[in-house]
């Protein structure tokens, strides 16, 4: 594999890891193997720490393809807790209000989900990486500042109800780049008259890349250790990345 000219790896991001944690782990493994601390590694699409699933990592010159790769359609399986809201629209913050759920039926949920299929406008969460006057919104929100974000136009291709209970639903969502599933959980809860927040999230697909094609972060790091390396002709660190010659090689 030629990590300098560029490789694309599919990772199943674990719960609790930031997207940067996954990038940092792979970059560290590559730096040690290649003898080069300046190796480029980037990801095609942020995934929240409380989410798991498909993440595409690019190395070397393949980082130029990040914009192309992250524009692919995304698929998620989202668990939405009904009857309560949180400021972050997920489990990052504590519940700030509760609401009745006795009126919620499967039929009502199906009807509401249908309203969110197609072209919609969505206001991103205050706890997001969107910038306000050059500052990430989540940094302002965590300081208690009021954050006002403009609505964005998105496309929801599919919404499928996988599991139903009056206090919790599981939904499969196929959507365009830039969709915040946390904000979708907020909006669905509001439309149901019960409030809601995201309690679990798994990204199952990015473009044609599905979760079954992904390596764990540990497997990716092990791959870097043992795979046969190739180098561009002008790569100055090749000798440091090659195993030392044994006495039988002389």
Active-site residue numbers? 48
Separation CA 3–CA 70 (nearest Å): 20
C-alpha triplet 165, 167, 173: angle, nearest 5°: 70
- Inter-residue contact 69 to 46 (CB < 8 Å): no
Residue 221's CB is within 10 A of a number of other CB atoms, namely 17
- Nearest residue to 86 via CA among 5, 183, 207, 228: 183
**124: how many CB neighbours lie within 10 A of its CB?**
19
SS3 76: strand
> What is the distance between the alpha carbons of residues 112 and 226, in angstroms, rounded to a whole number?
50
């Amino acid at each position: 594999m030629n990590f300098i000219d560029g490789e694309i790896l599919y990772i199943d991001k674990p719960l609790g890891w930031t997207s940067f944690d996954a990038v940092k782990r792979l970059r560290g493994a590559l730096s040690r193997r290649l003898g080069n601390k300046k190796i480029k590694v980037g990801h095609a699409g942020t995934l929240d720490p409380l989410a798991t699933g498909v993440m595409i990592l690019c190395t070397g010159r393949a980082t130029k393809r990040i914009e192309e790769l992250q524009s692919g359609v995304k698929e998620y399986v989202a668990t939405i807790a009904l009857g309560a809201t949180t400021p972050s629209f997920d489990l990052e913050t504590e519940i700030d209000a509760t609401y009745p759920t006795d009126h919620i039926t499967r039929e009502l949920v199906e009807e509401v989900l249908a309203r969110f299929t197609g072209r919609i406008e969505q206001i991103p969460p205050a706890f997001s990486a969107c910038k306000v006057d050059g500052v990430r919104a989540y940094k302002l929100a965590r300081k208690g500042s009021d954050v006002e974000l403009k609505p964005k136009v998105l496309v929801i291709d599919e919404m499928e109800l996988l599991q139903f209970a009056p206090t919790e639903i599981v939904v499969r969502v196929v959507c365009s780049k830039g969709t915040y599933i946390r904000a979708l959980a907020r909006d669905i809860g509001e439309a149901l008259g019960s409030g809601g927040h995201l309690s679990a999230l798994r990204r199952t697909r990015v473009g044609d890349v599905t979760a079954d094609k992904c390596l764990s972060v540990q497997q990716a790091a092990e791959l870097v250790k043992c795979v046969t390396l190739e180098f561009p002709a002008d790569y100055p660190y090749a000798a440091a990345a090659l195993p030392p010659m044994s006495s039988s090689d002389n």
